[in-house]
Structure 1
Amino acid sequence: MNLLRTTAAVLALTTGLLALPANAEVVQENTSGDPMYSVNAPSGYSMAGDILIARPLLIGATVIGAGLFIVSLPFSALGGNVGDAANALVVEPGREAFVRCLGCTMNGYKED
């Protein structure tokens, strides 16, 4: 009798665990109307992590990058790559900090 109960419990748990992935997907509604946002549809946790952790770090990286750009400006001017240095040190972190939607992994800035 004990073997029967153990077998039944293992079978019930296994069946329950196999059914979990079918119920794991949550459909999120697109309230903005933007098709890019509906594909990217960030959750509340990713938005909170973005505003509390990622954005301050990216703003700090932009400020530090601007300082490094000013320090490296004479050397990059001699090398002829001022635009590349400005893009890598200031523009890219600034674009990620200020243009990307909250919680998204890709920026919303589209160059024409």
Structure 2
Amino acid sequence: MTPFRSLAAALALTTGLLSLPAQANPSGDPLYNADAPPAYAMIGDLLIARPLLIAGTVIGTGVFIVSLPFTLLGGNVGDAGQALVVEPAKAAFVRCLGCTESGYKRD
């Protein structure tokens, strides 16, 4: 192999390898974000935030059931269910451990 071909092959390989990190997450989807939360955030989330969010989901479900006759008359059952049950449940069960926002946002 000539020195020119060796140099061209090395440059092509190097250029190809350098472009890989830029293509790792082309969609920008936070679900595939490589930045992991620190360990203390995961521990705090597991021991403090998740039990409070699960309790909030249970309490929100109870409040939703109690307020159901009034929300039926007002015509906003979906909004009340979303705010009192769905959003706390998403934060408790769908969000990754230690994350501040839910990474599962598919429409």
TM-score by length of 1: 0.66
Displacement, 1:108? 1.7
**Does structure 1 residue 52 correspond to structure 2 residue 42?**
no
Read off the aligned partner of 1:58 and give its amino acid letter.
Answer: L
Displacement, 1:109? 1.6
Q: Is the partner of 1:38 in helix, strand or coil?
A: coil
Displacement, 1:38? 2.0
**Does structure 1 residue 89 correspond to structure 2 residue 84?**
yes
For structure 1, the 5+ residue unaligned runs are 1-32
Read off the aligned partner of 1:52 and give its amino acid letter.
Answer: L
Give the match for residue 38 of structure 1.
Answer: 34
Give the match for residue 100 of structure 1.
Answer: 95
In the alignment, the residues of structure 2 paired with residue 58 and residue 106 of structure 1 have an alpha-carbon distance, to the nearest angstrom, of: 14
In the alignment, the residues of structure 2 paired with residue 100 and residue 60 of structure 1 have an alpha-carbon distance, to the nearest angstrom, of: 16
Q: Any residues of structure 2 matched to 1:7-86 within 5 Å, and which?
A: 36=30, 37-39=33-35, 41-86=36-81
Read off the aligned partner of 2:44 and give its amino acid letter.
Answer: G
* Paired residues, number: 79
Give the RMSD, CA atoms, in angstroms. Answer: 1.6
Read off the aligned partner of 2:89 and give its amino acid letter.
Answer: G
Read off the aligned partner of 1:48 and give its amino acid letter.
Answer: I
In the alignment, the residues of structure 1 paired with residue 54 and residue 102 of structure 2 have an alpha-carbon distance, to the nearest angstrom, of: 15
In the alignment, the residues of structure 2 paired with residue 109 and residue 80 of structure 1 have an alpha-carbon distance, to the nearest angstrom, of: 29
In the alignment, the residues of structure 2 paired with residue 111 and residue 69 of structure 1 have an alpha-carbon distance, to the nearest angstrom, of: 25
